[in-house]
Amino acid sequence: MDESKIDKMQGRWTTDSLFEYFTARMDDADVRYSQRFQAQEKAIDKSDAASEKRFEAVNEFRNTLSDQTKTFMPRLEAETRTHANAEKIDALASRMDKMETQIQSQDTNKDDKRTEILQMVQLIVGLLTILAIIIGAALIVNK
């Protein structure tokens, strides 16, 4: 019903005009509610699509973590290998300590041999010096 008709009819409402007026208002409300409902459905559809995309991304991330976890070494295996490597390192360290001790004793033996050789050379030089003195003295006495 037109607003101009309503203005003219003020004060002269009849049951038919009231029925027509309320029917028009209800039809307007139905149109508005229908538009709201459609807008809400559209918003829900968009929200559902966004949620679906988010869940797809989350599921993809979960799958990536799952794939990555499959390539990880189990803790027990890692600890076993670490323990075995530690034992090997300790054995090598022990062997190196023994080798260092042997080298040091060899160096000490070499130093002792050098000392002995030097002492012999000094003894020989000393004996030759004494021999030279004796020979020199004998030559002087014989002249």
Residue 62 tokens, joined = 């979960």
C-beta of residue 40 within 8 angstroms of C-beta of residue 59: no
Q: Note whether residue 119 is domain-resident.
A: no
Task: Report pLDDT for 106.
Answer: 81
C-beta of residue 1 within 8 angstroms of C-beta of residue 21: yes
Domain that holds residue 36: 1-72
- Tens-place pLDDT, residues 63-75: 998 888 888 888 8
Q: Note whether residue 40 is domain-resident.
A: yes
Amino acid at 48: D
Please check the confidence at residue 7 and state whether its pLDDT lies above 60: no
pTM of the shown model: 0.39
Please check the confidence at residue 8 and state whether its pLDDT lies above 60: no
Q: Note whether residue 18 is domain-resident.
A: yes
- Tens-place pLDDT, residues 34-82: 999 999 999 999 999 999 988 898 899 999 988 888 888 888 998 999 9
Angle at CA 118, nearest 5°, toward 114 and 120? 115
